[in-house]
Amino acid sequence: MGKSKPTTLLRLVSTVAGFVFAIHLIILYSRNYSVDNLEVSSQSLLLHHHPLVHELERVEQENIHMPPPRKRSPRAIKRKPKRPTTTLVQEFLDENSQIRHLFFPDIKSSFGPTKDGGGNDTSLHHFFPGKIWLDTEGNPIQAHGGGILYDERSKSYYWYGEYKDGVTYHSHKKGAARVDIIGVGCYSSRDLWTWKNEGVVLAAEELDETHDLHKLNVLERPKVIYNSDTGKYVMWMHIDDANYTKASVGVAISDNPTGPFDYLYSKSPHGFDSRDMTVFKDDDNTAYLVYSSEDNSVVHVGPLTEDYLGVKPVMKRIMVGQHREAPAVFKHQNTYYMITSGCTGWAPNEALAHAAESMMGPWETLGNPCVGGNKIFRSTTFLAQGTYVVPLPGVPGGFIFMADRWNPADLRDSRYLWLPLIVGGTADRPLESSFGFPVWSRVSVYWHRQWRLPWGGEKEIA
């Protein structure tokens, strides 16, 4: 009799624990293995065992040796007897830094279909984040702040971005470094590595000073989505004046992915200012505009009209007061994810990953997705800023994180960092929990000096 009470208690506790565990499994199961995804998920299990997919998640360290301190003049020593310590970010931003070649390796180490990036076989299609990336004609790719469209009709990928191949200057003393608008560059590919220049598909206006695209204005972060109802390719972009006070979105359309695009107009979406932005097309064809607003302090999200040419009068304010920009949205197994940066102009800062059950929120912040490199790399998005996330076909939970390593001293020489992004495992900071278990998966962007897609150069994926 004396022993029966603790046994009953033990049974009760283990039943409750078992119940909670079962609920947790059901939640995980319904998230990861919903009926729609069953086929894809079992495929994914197989793919995740593929050694080359495994390779994407290898944690790679990066040791950068700071240069020896520079000689200081006696006057400088008198003014500041203690030598100010230089940080890696200061070295990165200093155009005369002795280790600048580490951040911006020169043309000799470029890579692409015509060059190997450092003694490698070009047929293996390695990406070298930060090195100059050449197109099929051997010219550096000009598609900054870009985005990718996969076109079912031509079974090709199109990379659109800022064509910045002009002189960098400051329009006034305190203004950000800039390049006059040349237009939106477009490149096509069937394997995401070999890019053919399709030309400037939306060009600057040379003469009409009142035109949004007049070369002295700003055109940034163009993104293109296809509307299957109207058969139009619709481009959304950040339109501004040189002082970033117009803060609008622009819209252009074309019948072909390679343009030419006709510029329609600029807007203040929902009556608000809009700077860094992106568009995201969901599986049900609903498209959304996501933009930094209220002087970059709040992100706004709202659905586009059915023709994708405007916004519906519905909008949610998210990440309120968090000062986030450079949004890049992607979806995995019915969860929406977003990577954003902080607001420090061309200077790099820490990325954050966010997740939501619906595009309209609520959005929760998961934490910094960057893995590997070193502490400074992780706190500066590997000295870059995100712009887009591309799903990897055949690798559910596998994506490419596209980022720009801006070079404010010479913007045309800004570099691309494409790195593997994997959704899986549990998040670092679960803000929400169910029965004490974190709800969200972890989003990880892995640093690699050199990497390739699981199928490498072995086949075209499109």
What are the residues binding ligand GAL (CB under 6 A)?
Answer: 145, 176, 220-221, 276, 325-326, 343, 345-346, 385
DSSP code, position 85: P
Q: Please report how close the Cβ of residue 192 comes to ligand GAL at its closest, in angstroms.
A: 23
The C-alpha atoms of residue 451 and residue 462 are separated, in whole angstroms, by: 20
- Enumerate the H helices of 261-389 as residue ranges: 375-379
Q: Please report how close the Cβ of residue 175 comes to ligand GAL at its closest, in angstroms.
A: 9
Q: Please report how close the Cβ of residue 347 comes to ligand GAL at its closest, in angstroms.
A: 9
Pairing between strand 441-446 and 370-371? Answer: parallel
Q: To the nearest 10°, report the CA torsion of 318, 322, 326, 330.
A: -40
Q: How large is the greatest C-alpha to C-alpha distance in the chain, in angstroms?
A: 97
Q: Please report how close the Cβ of residue 86 comes to ligand GAL at its closest, in angstroms.
A: 23
Q: Please report how close the Cβ of residue 169 comes to ligand GAL at its closest, in angstroms.
A: 13
Task: Name, in order, each residue with C-beta under 8 angstroms of 26's C-beta and a sequence gap of 6 or more.
Answer: none
Residue 9: Cβ within 10 Å count: 10
Handedness of CA 377, 380, 386, 392 (dihedral sign): positive
The residue among 40 and 176 lying less far from ligand GAL, judged by its C-beta, is: 176
Residue 15: Cβ within 10 Å count: 10
CB burial of residue 403 (10 Å; 0-12, 13-18, 19+): buried
The residue among 251 and 351 lying less far from ligand GAL, judged by its C-beta, is: 351
The C-alpha atoms of residue 197 and residue 201 are separated, in whole angstroms, by: 10
Provide the token pair at 70: 């520079």
The C-alpha atoms of residue 243 and residue 217 are separated, in whole angstroms, by: 9
The residue among 193 and 280 lying less far from ligand GAL, judged by its C-beta, is: 280
The residue among 145 and 367 lying less far from ligand GAL, judged by its C-beta, is: 145
The residue among 343 and 360 lying less far from ligand GAL, judged by its C-beta, is: 343
Q: Please report how close the Cβ of residue 26 comes to ligand GAL at its closest, in angstroms.
A: 41
Q: Please report how close the Cβ of residue 147 comes to ligand GAL at its closest, in angstroms.
A: 12
Length of the chain: 462
Provide the token pair at 326: 């450079």
Q: Please report how close the Cβ of residue 62 comes to ligand GAL at its closest, in angstroms.
A: 24
The residue among 176 and 376 lying less far from ligand GAL, judged by its C-beta, is: 176
Listed residue (312, 319, 435, 421) closest to 371, CA to CA: 421
